[in-house]
A and B are shown apart, each in its own frame.
Chain A
């Protein structure tokens, strides 16, 4: 998996679609790629995700959608790789993807790496979203801890509330 290969895929999947492709075609193509890539690609993909996020690559959103599908197929290998790339400041994309793996054991490891106290609103939103996705008692405790913090951005509060609701409803 090289940067050039990945960029070619993303260009193909990105909008506009042109007259002869549907958005369902795009998702089917992403899913076929994610199926074809084995867990051995997890390290390279996590590294590229971090690079895209830090460089604010214009196709980061498309990459995120693709890697969410990859995360569902190879959760353990990808979670390990994402945690290796994760730093105190994120980037938030890695937390989004970590949530998609559904690997609950990643919660405590991520919590140790992140600097939640001085985190940006973006990072807190991603962290709250990931906790809601990953679920479990530990995730609930971290969400409650976040919820108790004063002076949080409204969007952060909203994401915490959604995360807690997901845990309550058993969807997280």
Chain B
């Protein structure tokens, strides 16, 4: 199997280089991805990032790249690919295409110097290092601890990403993405009435800013049913027994949150001294345990359970915040054998901060949980 881990560099034109940012300038920018048609700019980008003055935004960079003759060639190649018959309209995230301007093939290239693809057979995301000198990946994961520096290969592996060597012909098994994916959610009767009112008024049906972490959450139908807890919530509030059948229009590069990332994020809270102190303070208050009382074993066990539960909720909220802050404003949470989904709970959440991407198809009362048949 050939190992295509290096790209062929193409020097930027002098006019491009003059408008492109330095690497230092790029580090301060939020992570983004090039739009369709500028995917094959890795060599150009990396060179240019070392040469040109800073620009103000990724969008400005992309506009600059779109003006180059090479981009026009790349866009043409991408268009050729899009004329191929569509694969199954599920999944995700990378679209494979052939660069007619070169021998071999290229995928959409991200600014972090890694190319990504989704393996539908295993459900795993893989990456491929194409340029070690590219802009750091740190903002891919938004882990604060790693911000501003490139993740090592081991760190990527710890987050559940696998490195592979891929021959061009194998790349063709990558699924094409579907722009619209089926989504299911559960809401209360009063929320369903407000959704209906929004639709009648011609405004987006959901208000993600009111949701968990500033996002609306859905199950991506057709990829299993991850545990939501919604169908178990009875009492203590209005039951969520209206199933919403919807579609979510995916952006080019949604934020992907893997099972391993969730585990890392949960562990981050559990190891954080500030979080632990706050959790213990709340637990003592709830259980009327004096702040200075040393805890016995039974109490320590109870506190540990409380702390793990609190960390899990914080984790979900932080995922929402990450998606809301991400340029795509859409996230995909992939749960595969996860400790955060009860048994047989593999599946995917769609986490959407951009209300305009959600379209409601129908709503109906049900006793079942979201996505269940």
- Mark the stretch among B67-75, B87-95, B124-132, B301-309 that contacts chain A: B301-309
Q: Residues on A close to B: CB < 8 A? A: 11-12, 15-29, 32, 61-62, 64-65, 68, 96, 99, 125-126, 128-129, 132, 155, 159, 162-163, 165-166, 169, 171
CA distance A163 to B313 in the complex (A): 33
CA distance A16 to B316 in the complex (A): 11
The residues of A that contact B295 with a CB separation of less than 8 Å are 162
CA distance A132 to B302 in the complex (A): 17
| With contact pairs A16-B339, A19-B217, A64-B301 given, residues A26 and B309 touching in the complex (Cβ less than 8 Å) | yes
Shortest C-beta distance, A168 to chain B (Å), equals 11
Q: Are A18 and B228 in contact (CB under 8 A)?
A: yes
The residues of B that contact A11 with a CB separation of less than 8 Å are 342
CA distance A2 to B360 in the complex (A): 42
Q: Are B236 and A32 in contact (CB under 8 A)?
A: yes
The residues of B that contact A132 with a CB separation of less than 8 Å are 296
Tally A-B pairs: CB < 8 A. 94
Shortest C-beta distance, A39 to chain B (Å), equals 22
Shortest C-beta distance, A45 to chain B (Å), equals 17
Q: Flag whether B227 is at the interface (Cβ < 8 A).
A: yes
Write out, one digit per residue, whether chain B residues 292-328 have a CB within 8 A of any chain A CB (1) or not (0).
0111111001100110111011001000000000000
Q: Are A61 and B305 in contact (CB under 8 A)?
A: yes
Q: Flag whether B102 is at the interface (Cβ < 8 A).
A: no
The residues of A that contact B312 with a CB separation of less than 8 Å are 15-17, 23
| With contact pairs A15-B309, A16-B339 given, residues A129 and B229 touching in the complex (Cβ less than 8 Å) | no
CB proximity to A under 8 Å, residues B331-360: 339-342, 349
Q: Are B296 and A162 in contact (CB under 8 A)?
A: yes
Cβ-defined partner of B298 (8 Å) among A17, A18, A129, A155: A129
Taking A19-B349, A20-B212, A27-B306 as known contacts, 5 extra A-B pairs with beta carbons closer than 8 A to each other, sorted by chain A number, are: A15-B312, A18-B226, A18-B227, A18-B341, A162-B296
Q: Flag whether B291 is at the interface (Cβ < 8 A).
A: no
Q: Are A32 and B233 in contact (CB under 8 A)?
A: no
Q: Flag whether B83 is at the interface (Cβ < 8 A).
A: no
| With contact pairs A96-B298, A162-B294 given, residues A19 and B229 touching in the complex (Cβ less than 8 Å) | yes
The residues of B that contact A165 with a CB separation of less than 8 Å are 294
The residues of A that contact B340 with a CB separation of less than 8 Å are 16, 18
Q: Are B306 and A23 in contact (CB under 8 A)?
A: yes
Q: Are B297 and A171 in contact (CB under 8 A)?
A: no
